Every structure is written in structure tokens, then in C-alpha cells.
Amino acid sequence: MKTKERIVRSTARLMQRQGYAATGLKQISQESGATLGSVYHFFPGGKAELAIAAVRHGGKEFADMLRETLEREDDPATAIAACADELAEGMRASQWQDGCPIVITALESAGRALDIQRAAEEEFAAWRELVSGKLRRTGYPEDVARELAHTVISTLEGAEMAAQVGESEEPLRLAGRHLARLITSYRP
């Protein structure tokens, strides 16, 4: 792996687990095995620039999981429940360490670091678009699909948070089941 990519991955992992404020350049340098000089060489904008790259990286990682899981099932309700199950298993496998890759940084940046906030909002929008696209392709009208996609992503995010803080798969398992029921209730 190239040095720059190693730096981004380490930043993404650290900010996923501990957030933006707690993550220092020295720790990023240590975790990635890159010198501090090398970190500054690739990211002259420092921690703010690194945070944007980390948000992009985490956003893409989550989008890849979503896309693959949504494609595995024909029925969108079953597919969304499968996404929630996938998140529950990932959460348990990481011993409740790896929640949403970008949520802490997104919340910390809101109203104070607008470039980071904007990057996070773009990633959230991309996730919603994946869900919305799946619903449209299976016959849901455009506005219903768009609105459901909002609630699907909100619910998965909130349930992931609850699962992490409560160290339990249950919030995600229940979210998947309830979202499937909601989606089915709008079935065209």
C-alpha cells in the first residue's frame, strides 16, 4: 500500500473510533508508520485536510457495504434488513469498536469546520441515493423512494450508535426488522 493511502486509512480508523479532536498528527504518523514530515508532505492542510480524506474513505467503505448487500437481495425490504444484520455482525466482530466510520467527526465538525461537515453530508447523501436507487428499481415511486431512503439511513445510523454504546446487536436487528416492515407497507 502506498504511503498516502496508509496515512488515510490510519486517520479514518482513528477518527472512526475516537473522533476528530482526540486524533493527533503524531498518532496518525505512528499508526501509519509514516514520518510526520511525510504526513505534512501529502497533507499540507494538516488535520482538517486529513479529516476530509478520512470522511471520504469511510464514506466509500460504508457505501461499498451498502451496495453489495443491496444487490444480494431482490426485495428491497429484505435487502435493508440484511444491511442491518451485516452492521450488527461487523459491530460484534470488532468488539463494539467500529461504529459508523464518519459520525463522530461529522458531529464534531457541524457548525465549526464547514469543509469537513460538507464532505460528511455528501457521503450521507450518497448512501441515501444507493437506498433510493434500489427502491426505484423495484418499482417504488421517486418521492416515496427518496423519503424512505432518508429514514433508512437515519435509522441505521441511530441503531448503530445504540448498538455500540449498549454493546448489543439488538438495536440493529430490530431496526432491520422494522425498516423492512415500513418499506413493505409502501410496496407499489
DSSP state of 138: T
Shortest distance in whole angstroms from residue 108 CB to its own copies: 5
Shortest distance in whole angstroms from residue 20 CB to its own copies: 8
Q: Which is nearer to its own copies, 35 or 48 (CB)?
A: 48
Residues near its own copies, by CB under 8 A: 17-19, 21-22, 95-97, 99, 103-104, 106-108, 110-112, 117, 120-121, 124-125, 147-148, 150-151, 153-159, 161-162, 164-166, 170-171, 174-175, 177-178, 181-182, 185
All three cell numbers of 42, joined, read 501529502
Shortest distance in whole angstroms from residue 2 CB to its own copies: 29
Q: Which is nearer to its own copies, 18 or 35 (CB)?
A: 18
- Angle (CA) 113-114-117 rounded to 5° is 90
Task: Give Cα 158 to chain centroid, integer Å.
Answer: 11
**Concatenated DSSP letters of 49-63:** HHHHHHHHHHHHHHH
The amino acid occupying position 38 is S
Residue 84 belongs to what H/E stretch?
Answer: helix 76-93
Shortest distance in whole angstroms from residue 166 CB to its own copies: 5
